[in-house]
Amino acid sequence: MIKKSISILALSMLIILTSVNIISAQGCMEASSDEGVSIKGYIQPQWEYWQTTDGHDANSFTLNRARIAALGSIPYDVSYFVMIDFSKFKSGSPWILDAFVSYTRYDWAKVTFGQFKSPISLEQNTACQSLHTIYRSKVVNELAGPQRDMGAMLFGGTADSKLHYYLAIMNDYERGYEDENIAKSVKGRVTFSPLEFLQVGGSFAYGKTGANEDNKKTRLGGELQIKYSNFLFQGEYLWADDSGDYTTGGGCDGTPIEFHTGGVTRSGFFAQAMYLTQWNLQPVFKLESYDADVSIDDNTEFITTYGINYFLNDWTRIQLNYRYRAEHGAEIPNDQVVLQVQVKF
């Protein structure tokens, strides 16, 4: 019998994605105390210019994310986290991203139950307000999903430990819907830091999705992170094999989910490097590759992001990205320029 997914949530709000430390709430933000409820959140208004295939370029002011979270700790060793997104530009109406309870008495045997992020992928488990580019990589959006899922997860590690692990059983189905089969998916991720500046890791998923008995899903991933002084490099590779029906789209960018019949094998990677200067400016260079069907030649999409981040203070950040998109074999005009302002509270 095939089991379902595992999930791990985002990193601390106070860390700008330089490590994969675990917090008690297992969410995007951390409670300030164990006395009462903490209310936190962030907004990301933005302006976007994009090319179109018919030659009529367009631009728009949008709201990428508008999220509010209620979180806290209950004596003893119990924490809770609920987050809602109010941006109608993405979902059409307010929707619940996270809603889970964690028991954290034992450092190496913590438990989370509810709806939370799947543990696959370094970038997927980076909090949205801590991403170094405005958008997540296409390979992560396409292959690591569903980004959030219902399930239970066992995880362990401390802020000082070299090893962290996450193992979950999950529905592996559309967010907000009950599963349609008796099986579940198993998902997991392990990270290891043999040296202070180096982190390596891997993740996997295996299970069934939907009502069709032929729908089998396998995911494998590897990740690398190097942080030395103000320099940060991150890279990740994902491989996916689906039989029966499968989906494309979804992820964190708001692209509608599309359903397809027939098996497919897909793969891709991203690599990004950045350096935080003394003027609070952080140049970013990111390269992405995504192959939507490895059996087809000239089917790879490349996205190169040239970005600059400016940190006004610990709560406010301005990001400017130019995304050069090149389709191998049949390039189309679809480049983008995106400006985003983020404020956390």
Q: Which domains, and CATH codes, for the chain? A: 42-344 (2.40.160.10)
| Lowest mean per-residue pLDDT among 25-39, 63-77, 277-291 | 25-39
> Which amino acid would we find at residue 292?
A
Among 99-103, 105-109, 273-277, 296-300, the range scoring the smallest mean pLDDT is: 296-300
**Which pLDDT belongs to residue 53?**
85
The answer to whether the beta carbons of residues 132 and 274 sit under 8 Å apart is yes
Q: For residues 119-127, give the mean pLDDT.
A: 96
Ramachandran area for residue 17 (φ above 0: left; ψ -120 to 50: alpha; else beta):
left
pLDDT of 35 over the 70 cut: no
- The pLDDT of residue 55: 82
For residue 87, how far is the Cα from the chain centroid?
18
Please state, in angstroms and rounded to a whole number, the distance separating the CA atoms of residues 38 and 69.
8
Give every CB contact of residue 163 below 8 A, 6+ residues apart in sequence. 157, 190, 191, 192, 193
Its pTM stands at 0.87
Better pLDDT: 23 or 9: 23
Specify whether the CB–CB gap between 311 and 340 falls below 8 A.
no
**Residue whose C-alpha is closest to residue 7's, from 167, 246, 144:** 167
Whether the per-residue pLDDT at 49 is higher than 70: the answer is: yes
CA geometry: angle 299, 302, 303, nearest 5 deg: 150
Amino acid at 327: E
Token readout for 287 is: 């390269």
Q: Does the pLDDT of residue 11 top 80, yes or no? A: no
**193 close to 214: Cβ distance less than 8 angstroms:** no
pLDDT at position 20 is 32
The answer to whether residue 282 scores a pLDDT higher than 60 is yes
